Amino acid sequence: MLTATQHDIIRATVPVLRTYGESITRAFYASMFEAHPELYDIFNPVNQVNGRQQRSLAGSVLAYAANIDRLDALGGMVERITHKHGVLEVQREHYPIVGHYLLGAIRSVLGEAATPEILDAWAAAYGQLAEILHGREAELYAAEASTPGGWTGFLPFRLEQRVAEGTKITSFTLRPEDGRVLPPFLPGQYISVKAQPPGYPHQQIRQYSLSHAPNGQFYRIAVRREDSTSADVPSGLMSSYLHDTLQEGGTLLMHMPLGDLVLDNSDRPVVLLSGGSGITPVLAMLDHLSSPSGGTRQVVFIHAARNPQVMGFADEIAAMAKRRAGIEIVLVLEEDDGSLTLAGEKVTGRISAELLRQHLPDGAEIYYCGPPGFMTAAETALDTLLVPAPRRHSETFAPDQSFGDGIDHARPRAVSVR
């Protein structure tokens, strides 16, 4: 429990974190990985190189400091982090390691400004946060163990089928090797897969959204190939492994589904808005909403793609739209050569406020997902249209950069690192 003085110290460090937070998290990761290289197992090296992981952690720490006196405001952040930790199998014994190197990084970056009082306050604050996170994670692990068909840790799955979905994305259908009936999941959730890419010294864990409604038989993920964009940024380790190495009949270790980007339980209209490979979680939602058990809510499915060649799942989307009335399909293409036919409306251009204005039903719940550039455009459009934060539900396929002093905690967000 923090003392009143320690609360004051944490609040007083907010401006310092805003200025030096990313430097602190860079020093933290460097020192921790040097001492514990085995932790590379659970971190995406591309996100270390491009700085997204460091910025995400810095924002999370800043949000925690800014709300140290009203921790209830951190509910959305805590839920996101614990679901991510859950699929990584983070345990209580990991927290002291992180705390040790985080405090060391604060001391290293701030120098003499990091007084014993400041370090003691942050040690207490970190201990408080660790207990909050571990408590929620323990609940998730207990739920996994008690779910019929559920399991703890990682279970072997056999790759039954791989299908090219456009020029960049491949879908992978996997069944448990022991033949068990799979537990249900909520459309929008993701799984973790674990493997050791050839020539790499560590296992890697990645999260991929499930791209179908629950069926008890198999899990299907869709993976975008992440090619190198420069000499300093390597190709995606796991996306390369899945595309180039894992063949039908091969084995992949998988964790039970988790994730807090899920459909609300109401009869309000639903807008499913996606860009690029962000189609996967909303595709699962569309699959559910178009099924007999999905109700009769009005659904608008809007997907943005660069061109028809990279557009995946077109036939599947068309089939879902035909299952019942009340489902509208809108495809937004930057470049359209006319090669793609899809029941619904096609628009040439990009996501904008004017485009969304034409298709957003009154009072709709909006679920949107995609890469950072798409998410920025979607957020800007929704801001322009004055869509209230409680009706926005989002996931970005990178470490979340949104945490910070001005974070709107009423807006649920989820994180998937691809």
| Residue of 20, 64, 137, 226 marked active site | 137
Distance CA 253, CA 203 (A): 11
DSSP structure string for 25-59: HHHHHHHHHHH-GGGGGGS-HHHHHSSHHHHHHHH
| Residue of 20, 29, 64, 95 marked active site | 95
Active-site annotation holds for 395: no
119 near 106, Cβ under 8 Å?
yes
CB atoms within 10 A of CB 43: 19
Distance CA 39, CA 32 (A): 8
17: helix, strand or coil = helix
Distance CA 80, CA 400 (A): 10
Active-site annotation holds for 248: no
Residue whose C-alpha is closest to residue 168's, from 104, 101, 107, 239: 239
According to DSSP, the β-strands at 299-305 and 327-333 are parallel
Residue whose C-alpha is closest to residue 226's, from 215, 217, 216, 237: 237
HSE toward the beta carbon, residue 411, CA cutoff 13 A: 19
Compute and round to an integer the Cα radius of gyration of the chain: 22
Q: Which two tokens stand for residue 305?
A: 């793609």
Which residues form the catalytic set? 95, 137
